[in-house]
Structure 1
Amino acid sequence: MTLQEIGIAVKRLQWQHHTEATKLLAPLGVSLPQWDVLRRLHEHPEASLHDLAQLTFQTDQSMGSLATRMIARGLITRVEGPGRAIRHKPTPEGEQIRRQGADALDSVLTASVGSLSAAERETLLSLLTKALG
């Protein structure tokens, strides 16, 4: 097994997760990046737009555009932060979609890594974390 084969397997699993999650989130009317913003706001309620960009693997500019679309859709609202900072928080609809999306993502992950034993999942997480540095 080569390093490239391992890299491709990791990418293939990520692509599978992304594709299946996208299908399951579509009936909720959100994309995977939009759901990820809702999830990250839930986990980090004080996150700035820059923080959200980093947490969701986006540029500041693309995160700003995404936030604008999510505000227009009624998923998040802007709130005042310290200094000039502008923060965002989920609306009740956004929070409901976050919860429903979490169930969808859990089903995607259950179909793949959920098939591993608890010990195998622990080993996988340990190895991926180690590889990240």
Structure 2
Amino acid sequence: MPYEPAAVALAVKRLQHRHHRALTAALAPLGLSLPQWDTLRHLHRNPDASLHDLALLTFQTDQSFGSLAARIVDRGLIERVPGPGRAVKHRLTAEGERLRAAGQALADEVVARSFGALTAAQIDELGALLEAVLESD
């Protein structure tokens, strides 16, 4: 059965929404919201990222991410360090890294369950197709 692009786009959005709900529930026992964990994950992958870079990576405005970052700093999960000029960089603390790793294990479980009906080859094909769509911009 041929799929209309709009139907595929809606399916991607529905899957994303399902992942968000499942991840929110999985991260709650760690005391983390999904945006907080996402920040820790991106800082792990991008050490010394600026507030602006992290806002882009987490799909937030600089202002909204600034508020989120302040809360995470207050919890002792990340620290701000001086960068060149007026720039401020961010780094994970030991506790932030511990919670990031624990959250990653939970996220891996959520995603594995979500894609459990697919074979490894189908997951590879889906990944390649999504990459092709994202690279077309």
Match of 1:55 in 2: 57
- State the TM-score, normalizing by the size of structure 2: 0.93
Instruction: Find the partner of 1:84 among 65, 71, 86.
Output: 86
Q: Aligned to 1:24, what secondary structure does the other structure show?
A: helix
Match of 2:105 in 1: 103
What do the CA deviations read for 1:79-124 (whole angstroms, capped 9, x no partner)? 1111111011111111110000000100010001243111111110
- The aligned length equals 133
Unaligned runs of 5+ in 1: none
What do the CA deviations read for 1:28-61 (whole angstroms, capped 9, x no partner)? 0011110011011110002111111111111111
Unaligned runs of 5+ in 2: none
Instruction: Report deviation, 1:128.
Output: 0.6
- State the TM-score, normalizing by the size of structure 1: 0.95
Instruction: Find the partner of 2:120 among 108, 112, 118.
Output: 118
Match of 1:68 in 2: 70
Moved over 4 A (4+): none
Match of 1:13 in 2: 15
Give, in whole Å, the separation in 2 of the partners of 1:116 and 1:129.
Answer: 18
Match of 1:32 in 2: 34
Give, in whole Å, the separation in 1 of the partners of 2:117 and 2:68.
Answer: 34
Instruction: Report deviation, 1:72.
Output: 1.1
Give, in whole Å, the separation in 2 of the partners of 1:35 and 1:59.
Answer: 17
Give, in whole Å, the separation in 2 of the partners of 1:102 and 1:114.
Answer: 18
Give, in whole Å, the separation in 2 of the partners of 1:74 and 1:96.
Answer: 12
Instruction: Report deviation, 1:76.
Output: 0.9
Q: Aligned to 1:115, what secondary structure does the other structure show?
A: coil
Match of 1:2 in 2: 4
Q: Which amino acid aligns with 1:14?
A: Q
Contact 2:49 2:91 in 1 (8 A): no
Identity across the alignment (%): 56
